[in-house]
Amino acid sequence: MCSFSSLPLSPQFLKNLADMEYNAMTPIQEESLPAILEGCDVLARAKTGSGKTAAFGIGILHNINLDRYRVQALVLCPTRELAEQVTAELRLLARYTHNIKIMKITGGMPLRKQQHSLSHEAHIIVGTPGRVLALLQANSLQLNEVSMLVLDEADRMLDMGFIDPITEILSFVPQERQTLFFSATLPDEIRHLSKKILRNPRSVSVDEHHDASVIEQHFHEVHPQDKGRALMALLSLHRPESSLIFCNTKEGCRTLGEELMGAGFHALVIHGDLEQKERTEVLIRFSNGSSRVLVATDVAARGLDISDLSAVFNYDLPLETETYVHRIGRTGRAGRTGLAISLMKPVEKHRLTLINEFLSGNYRLEPVSYSGVKETQWFEPPMVTLSINGGRRNKISAGDLLGALTARGGIEGSQVGRIDRQDYITFVAVKREVLPQARKILAQGRIKGNRFKVMVHEA
């Protein structure tokens, strides 16, 4: 564990990190930040949730010249959602750097609007390749003073077919620059691309093996037709606060979601076919405690910043052992013990030998005890999500909502959970028992003088 104070950062910046409760560097930060702050190109591999954003974020903020209103850093991310997360984290890191302008450029809002905001130039742009390129081609974005370029989740950007837009964006950015390349995996295409765009890079890579020791792992042999029942028995037995359940296909996610719901297990499903709006809603509801279970494919789960998962289930065993390690690494974070449970069909049994070899483990197949599924009552999620049709753009703040809910003997502050604001909608989680009351307050009262439509987001 290494403290941030070993880095050449200002006292004010260090204080902000302490306020954010970033008390020590994560391993990838420890490995990459010295090189980043020295100005070297870096190729970094580390799994999701390892703190890559702050690694490049601190590097960027260290280098920005605030007096120069020109884009000096460009961060490319694969999805809108990730661009949103990165922007939010950069803003937190820059909390005490007033007058810094960080702008997000993603699809989904009218091009014109973005062209307008760009006329008041930003210091830092975070965006998705497609939209950034569109603005460059429309001549609405100048990147000729960019001195830092970050490719975040590079492997995923390649998976999504962004190689051409990225290559084209590169032609708008000065050759003389620092480039940081972050990826969860380093397949050949990524190495190939990184060779083309990095100069004498330092390679850093944080091994995932260490984490396995804090994760309790179980492997159960189950016939394909019993998998749903086995999963429910295991959920009932372990009662994890929150679980991510992996299926190998979208279709599998859908079917399993229906099976769980049919049996009275509240579950949310996320896969690549959902529209952005639906994805956002699902993620918000899962992270605010309105569902204990999220069923996902690898692609949909990659890069999601869901911390504090109590358990990961491999409903379908992944095809690669590396993917197995990657999936289970989402539990057992922040010093807590995690739980990873895998269902193996009889034809998959032999894969346990490979997993054991990979992890230097000695795991054995266990039978499933079906006596666990008694009542699903405990399974009821603690929170439920409401939304109003007003958000950031309507100047609604989290405080406005909390104020409305708790005013005049309404409900207690402790009964209100996370409030997530989007541009035109705000989600608020409340304890299930105060749902009727919360709904009434929001539907009948006014917020900032306006009435809003209220929706309850139930299964």
Nearer to ligand ADP among residue 90 and residue 339 (C-beta): 90
Q: What is the DSSP-derived secondary structure letter of residue 368? A: P
Nearer to ligand ADP among residue 83 and residue 256 (C-beta): 83
Task: Return the percent helix, strand and coil in the chain, to nearest 5.
Answer: 40, 20, 40
Single out the residue of 386, 420, 47, 452 nearest to residue 210, CA to CA. Answer: 47
* Span interacting with ligand ADP, options 43-51, 311-319, 385-393, 441-449, rule CB under 6 A: 43-51
Residues 26-65 that bind Mg ion (CB under 5 A): 52-53
Binding track, positions 52-91, relative to ligand ADP; x by CB under 6 A? xxx-------------------------------------
Q: Evaluate whether 74 touches 118 at the Cβ level (below 8 Å).
A: no
Spatial CB neighbours of 359, under 8 Å, sequence gap ≥ 6: 209, 212, 325
Q: Does 181 bind ligand ADP (CB under 6 A)?
A: no
Nearer to ligand ADP among residue 206 and residue 352 (C-beta): 206
Nearer to ligand ADP among residue 48 and residue 376 (C-beta): 48
Helix (H) or strand (E) holding 384: strand 383-388
Segments in 64-199 forming alpha helices (H): 80-93, 111-118, 129-137, 154-159, 163-170, 188-197
* Pairing mode, strands 124-127 and 73-76: parallel
Residues 364-393 that bind Mg ion (CB under 5 A): none
Helix (H) or strand (E) holding 251: helix 250-262
Nearest distance from C-beta of residue 278 to ligand ADP, angstroms:
22
Nearest distance from C-beta of residue 363 to ligand ADP, angstroms:
27
165 binds, among Mg ion, ligand ADP, none (CB under 5 to 8 A by kind): none
Q: Does 50 bind ligand ADP (CB under 6 A)?
A: yes
Q: What is the DSSP-derived secondary structure letter of residue 36? A: H
Nearest distance from C-beta of residue 187 to ligand ADP, angstroms:
18
Q: Does 267 bind ligand ADP (CB under 6 A)?
A: no
What's the full length of the chain, in residues? 459
Binding footprint of ligand ADP, residue count (CB under 6 A): 14
Q: Does 183 bind ligand ADP (CB under 6 A)?
A: no
Nearer to ligand ADP among residue 48 and residue 437 (C-beta): 48
Nearest distance from C-beta of residue 86 to Mg ion, angstroms:
7
Residues 275-314 that bind ligand ADP (CB under 6 A): 305, 307
Nearest distance from C-beta of residue 82 to Mg ion, angstroms:
6
Binding footprint of Mg ion, residue count (CB under 5 A): 2
5 binds, among Mg ion, ligand ADP, none (CB under 5 to 8 A by kind): none
Residues 5-34 that bind ligand ADP (CB under 6 A): 22, 25-26, 29
Q: Which whole-number Å values give the CA distances from 208 to 57, 219, 327, in the listed order?
A: 23, 20, 11
Single out the residue of 251, 259, 255, 241 nearest to residue 306, CA to CA. Answer: 241
Nearest distance from C-beta of residue 92 to ligand ADP, angstroms:
8
50 binds, among ligand ADP, Mg ion, none (CB under 5 to 8 A by kind): ligand ADP
Nearer to ligand ADP among residue 155 and residue 400 (C-beta): 155
Q: Does 48 bind ligand ADP (CB under 6 A)?
A: yes
Nearer to ligand ADP among residue 114 and residue 287 (C-beta): 287
Closest CB to Mg ion belongs to which residue? 52
Q: Which whole-number Å values give the CA distances from 146 to 5, 80, 142, 242, 327, in the listed order?
A: 28, 21, 9, 41, 35
Q: Evaluate whether 176 touches 144 at the Cβ level (below 8 Å).
A: no
Nearer to ligand ADP among residue 17 and residue 256 (C-beta): 17
Nearer to Mg ion among residue 45 and residue 52 (C-beta): 52
54 binds, among Mg ion, ligand ADP, none (CB under 5 to 8 A by kind): ligand ADP
Single out the residue of 111, 118, 18, 102 nearest to residue 61, CA to CA. Answer: 102
Neighbour count for residue 202 (Cβ, 10 Å): 16
Spatial CB neighbours of 427, under 8 Å, sequence gap ≥ 6: 281, 284, 285, 288, 385, 386, 387, 418, 419, 420, 421, 457
Helix (H) or strand (E) holding 127: strand 124-127
Nearest distance from C-beta of residue 230 to ligand ADP, angstroms:
31
Q: Which residues bind Mg ion (CB under 5 A)?
A: 52-53
Q: Which residues bind ligand ADP (CB under 6 A)?
A: 22, 25-26, 29, 46, 48-54, 305, 307
